[in-house]
Structure 1
Amino acid sequence: MKRKAWILAFALVFALSSILVGCAGNNTAGSKAKTFIYGRGADSKALDPIQVTDGESIKVAEQIFETLVKYKKENTEVEPGLAESWETSKDGLVWTFKLRQGIKFHDGTPFNAEAVAYNFNRWMDKSHPEHKGGEFPYYGYMFGGYKGDKGHVIKSVTAVDEYTVKFELNFPQGPFLSNLAMPVFGIASPTAVKKDPVQFNQNPVGTGPFKFKNWKKNDSITLEKNKDYWQKGYPKLDRLIFKSIPDNSARFTALQSGDIDMMDGLNPDDVKLVESNKQLQLFKQAGMNVAYLALNTEKKPLDHPKVRQALNHAVNKEGIIKSFYADLAVPAVNPMPDIIWGYNKEIKDYEYDLDKAKQLLAEAGYPNGFEIEFYAMTEPRPYMPNGKKVAEYMAADFEKIGVKTKIVTYDWQTYLDRTGKGEHAMALFGWNGDNGDPDNFLYVLLDKDNTRTPDAGNIAFYKSDELHEVLIQAQRESDQSKRSELYMKAQEIIKKDAPWVPLVHATVPFAAKAGVRGFVPHPTGSLNLHEVDLK
């Protein structure tokens, strides 16, 4: 009896100690498991980065995949990634990369030159057996289309030996290296892609610091630590959960109550609350972004430049900033912010002038205005904390010049699909720069090459031959000062034709628990969460 009692008592103590360890081991440094919950405004669309354009998909995918080169932690300077070094020919037509050795994909497939060549050939060639599962839009945006297209930049990608890969270009491209560092060009496991190229975007396999575990649609995506990660000592976290909480205020409440560890989409008005709370900390991301109203130039009456200019005159940007950004933004004059080289400071904005707007409408043949649908996003974006409210604010001024709007809203994925197909007349949208190069704003968002549906980057469907010639010339020039002059000219063309109403460049606030360590906001919006730790 005594022996049985002793065994029972020992079992009880062991069970209680296990429970205590389990409770304490969730978010505490030095414990068995560190789980980090990141709150965000919307779910991802897909997790194969080459098939998406939305930030919610990219911020998860970049934890799973890695690129040949990457940006430095604080800026857009390029440094080694999966490639440890590279060299280029004098004419800029051949790039040779030496790859790191001993790296494996999450499924055990070796990372090598053949894997790199496979990925690029899958992306560029629409006849490739695994060019499936999506439209691969970013490849076309950044490299002038696809294999066989007149403006396609990349001629071939081949494995020279096991750890050397060679890119041959059809013509030089100034931002080539910066483009390769973009998270969308993360290298995927050929084995996993071949297994099911359509469903790969639901079951991603890369070389990154975290492995995909599961996805509960419109709720959460869970990643786990890659214990074999090649960068020793990383990641610091054992588990990473992306939690979708669409309402900004509800997400902030979840942070305050401890249900999440960090959040984006902080309402600007809540910034002071974070700063005054010792249990929280604030991060600010530089405004390498733009929020804009895209005017679909293929639809009447927006096909008339004076109508587009009139709408520009009817937008009170300062009022929008004071009402919805708590002064954490500046008015946008051009399609890119002034922190990017090549910005044209000489361009003057369309002043807020309702009488001038009415005059231009009359000159265009619309003295009594017109009726039009106005798309507004409902999910908060880094550049647009409350799209519906901003649309309502703008609509009130549009009505004063006779333009009656019907505000239309959809969930984020439907919004992306419909605008990418050009189903809208005018739509609020935005962009966070990917690589710090003017090409990433001007060519991607406004060149005629990127009006391809169903994933148009240029949702104004603005097709200017004059602009196209300038932008292609800038791409093929290696001298940055000459490129800068060309981009200044491009901004003059865009301002005159007015395919957009550029709205603001926003400073993006993040909030986190005071115990979060190692987070550095990147101007591209990238999340380097492998260095994050919990105190």
Structure 2
Amino acid sequence: MKRILAATACALALTAGAASAQTLVYCSEASPEGFDAALYTSGTTFDASSHTVYNQLVEFVTGTTEVRPGLAESWEVSDDGLTYTFKLRPGVKFHSNDVFTPSRDFNAEDVVHSFMRQIETEGTWEYFQGMGMPDLLESVTAVDDLTVEIKLTKPEAPFIANLAMDFASIVSKEYADAMAAAGTPENVNQKPIGTGPFAFVNYQTDAVIRYAKNEDYWEEGLPKVDNLIFAITPDASVRYQRLQAGECHVMPYPAPADIQAMKDDPNINVMEQEGLNVGYLAYNTTVAPFDNANVRKALNMAIDKNAIIDVVFQGSGQVAKNPIPPTMWSYNDAIQDDPYDPEAAKALLAAEGIENLSMKVWAMPVQRPYNPNARRMAELIQEDFAEVGVDVEIVSYEWGEYLSRSRALDRDGAILLGWTGDNGDPDNFLAVLLGCEGRENSNRAQWCHQPFEDLIQKAKVTSDVAERTKLYEEAQVVFKEQAPWATIAHSVVFMPMRPEVKGYVVHPLGGHIFDEVTVE
């Protein structure tokens, strides 16, 4: 902790000398796994990469799920829904760094490379693979320097919204080729180059990330600050102290117990918004006895979710019964949640022949809106499971390792995780987190259940929203019957910041976006 604070203080001192330069300091909650957004699914990594360094063909208007032009000025879709033609923005510049200076502007080759590398190159392209993109994309072709044609193997209703997601960030083919030729391909991930509002300057591991304004940014007037610093501060109480002291301007994920004090402090402005999120406990459905839906249902009935809401969320959350949040279209409010009933849970476990069960519950090492204190939540679940004769060992790892290990098919027990929507479409929860193609990737329950799969795949290729709604409502019924997760909570998102911060918008998709922010 001392090293982190000392490094951050040094960063602030370095930027404070330029009186005319406007610097925004964001006390981020964890270290990024890397800076190539396509390789990861963590919001921490997206904040440090795709929300700062990169652009996508299309982008979400900050604060909404409305799609607007990004690196593509316009697009057309064929009548059969299989061919998308994008007209690219001319004159867009890539950043430079100490190992590479681009010789040309952004063009169609970069778009083709950004998608085809996730099909043709070995690697953990977790989001791309989990969404079934390798099977969906028939071809990605450069028609000319400023025109790209994407052909699909089948219609995909949320396809345009999917292209605004982080995995679809556009990277430089010229940079990738140069680094491969130099024998340093890792620089693409460690020294990122994009077209985004901020250029990466350097990263002091686990301490500070520095960015500078992209002076050639294609969107006129943006970004509005000259320097952006991510001061990595894992402890919520330390983030709060640093916000109070004016050492950072914005902090995410406050401890629920601190929120009221923050609201009462005239030197802190607390923004809030209903989160498009869900926190859950995912059983590994490939490992006995968690391959038995009745065992999973029994364990769900042993969890006192109201106690978790009271103790962990302290008024900032609500009990979740579905895998999608109630603010999302197609939410099936008719679903009945599993009752909290330890006696019935014990009886059901006994009926399935389960005695002296021991299991692991994985607790995240970082805070998220959908789980502000995973360790405490795991302890409450541990106590609840003990009441029905199940012995729990709580385990945790460093965040990157936690995410990596949790993908294993033979992972023991159940894992606490959660999700904030990436595109405002139910497919982003139901298919990405629970679909068969997501196994060993974003589907941490390793669950593949054909009746559920048939419903969500049919919804993908249906353009009528009313019909898609019916299919997703049915899918939620199947989910509840099969119980691959214990759905725990949906939460309100709180964003505390200094009053001198202007223009910040809480984004429903969970990203922390600073291109329109100023510091007065």
> Does 2:20 correspond to 1:43?
no
Contact 1:76–1:435 (Cα < 8 Å) also in 2:
yes
> Does 2:180 correspond to 1:185?
no
- Letter of the structure 1 residue corresponding to residue 168 of structure 2: F
Q: What secondary structure is seen at the aligned counterpart in 2 of 1:350?
A: coil
Q: What secondary structure is seen at the aligned counterpart in 2 of 1:492?
A: helix
1:257 is matched with which residue? 245
CA deviation vs aligned residue, 1:337-366 (integer Å, no higher than 9, x gap)? 011111111110001111111111011112
1:351 is matched with which residue? 339
Contact 2:54–2:170 (Cα < 8 Å) also in 1:
yes
2:89 is matched with which residue? 100
Could you tell me how far apart the structure 1 residues matched to 2:205 and 2:368 are? 19
Q: Shift of residue 261 of structure 1?
A: 1.1
1:382 is matched with which residue? 369
- TM-score under structure 1 length normalisation: 0.90
1:485 is matched with which residue? 470
1:510 is matched with which residue? 495
1:464 is matched with which residue? 449
Distance 1:100 1:401, change over 3 A: same
CA deviation vs aligned residue, 1:197-245 (integer Å, no higher than 9, x gap)? 3331111111000001111111121111101111111111111111211
Q: Shift of residue 285 of structure 1?
A: 3.3
> Does 2:138 correspond to 1:138?
no
Contact 2:109–2:173 (Cα < 8 Å) also in 1:
no
**Structure 2 counterpart of 1:26, from 16, 28, 36:** 16
Q: What secondary structure is seen at the aligned counterpart in 1 of 2:24?
A: strand
Distance 1:27 1:507, change over 3 A: farther
2:515 is matched with which residue? 530
CA deviation vs aligned residue, 1:264-301 (integer Å, no higher than 9, x gap)? 01011211111111111011132101110000011121
Q: What secondary structure is seen at the aligned counterpart in 1 of 2:87?
A: strand
> Does 2:79 correspond to 1:90?
yes
- Letter of the structure 2 residue corresponding to residue 385 of structure 1: P
Q: Shift of residue 24 of structure 1?
A: 12
Q: Any unmatched runs of 5+ in structure 1? A: 1-21, 126-130, 147-151
Q: Any unmatched runs of 5+ in structure 2? A: 1-11, 97-101, 180-184
RMSD: 1.6
Q: Shift of residue 27 of structure 1?
A: 9.4
Q: Shift of residue 465 of structure 1?
A: 1.4
The alignment-based identity, stated in percent, is: 39
Contact 1:264–1:511 (Cα < 8 Å) also in 2:
yes
Could you tell me how far apart the structure 1 residues matched to 2:71 and 2:389 are? 56
Distance 1:451 1:23, change over 3 A: closer
2:153 is matched with which residue? 170
Could you tell me how far apart the structure 2 residues matched to 1:23 and 1:327 are? 38
Could you tell me how far apart the structure 2 residues matched to 1:319 and 1:75 are? 32
2:460 is matched with which residue? 475
1:280-319 equivalent positions in 2, closer than 5 A: 280-319=268-307
Could you tell me how far apart the structure 2 residues matched to 1:184 and 1:35 are? 28
Could you tell me how far apart the structure 2 residues matched to 1:314 and 1:40 are? 35
Contact 1:158–1:167 (Cα < 8 Å) also in 2:
yes
Could you tell me how far apart the structure 1 residues matched to 2:362 and 2:186 are? 30
CA deviation vs aligned residue, 1:463-518 (integer Å, no higher than 9, x gap)? 11111111111111111111111111111111100000000011111111110011
> Does 2:473 correspond to 1:496?
no
Distance 1:215 1:424, change over 3 A: farther
**Structure 1 consecutive aligned stretches of length 4 or more whose deviation exceeds 6 Å:** 22-25
Contact 1:284–1:521 (Cα < 8 Å) also in 2:
yes
CA deviation vs aligned residue, 1:116-154 (integer Å, no higher than 9, x gap)? 1121111222xxxxx25x411111123x142xxxxx111
Task: Count the aligned residue pairs.
Answer: 496
Could you tell me how far apart the structure 1 residues matched to 2:189 and 2:147 are? 27
For the pair shown, which has the larger CA radius of gyration, 1 or 2? Answer: 1
Contact 1:46–1:201 (Cα < 8 Å) also in 2:
yes
- TM-score under structure 2 length normalisation: 0.93
> Does 2:383 correspond to 1:396?
yes
Q: Shift of residue 412 of structure 1?
A: 0.9
Q: What secondary structure is seen at the aligned counterpart in 1 of 2:278?
A: strand
> Does 2:47 correspond to 1:59?
yes
Q: Shift of residue 523 of structure 1?
A: 0.6
> Does 2:261 correspond to 1:273?
yes
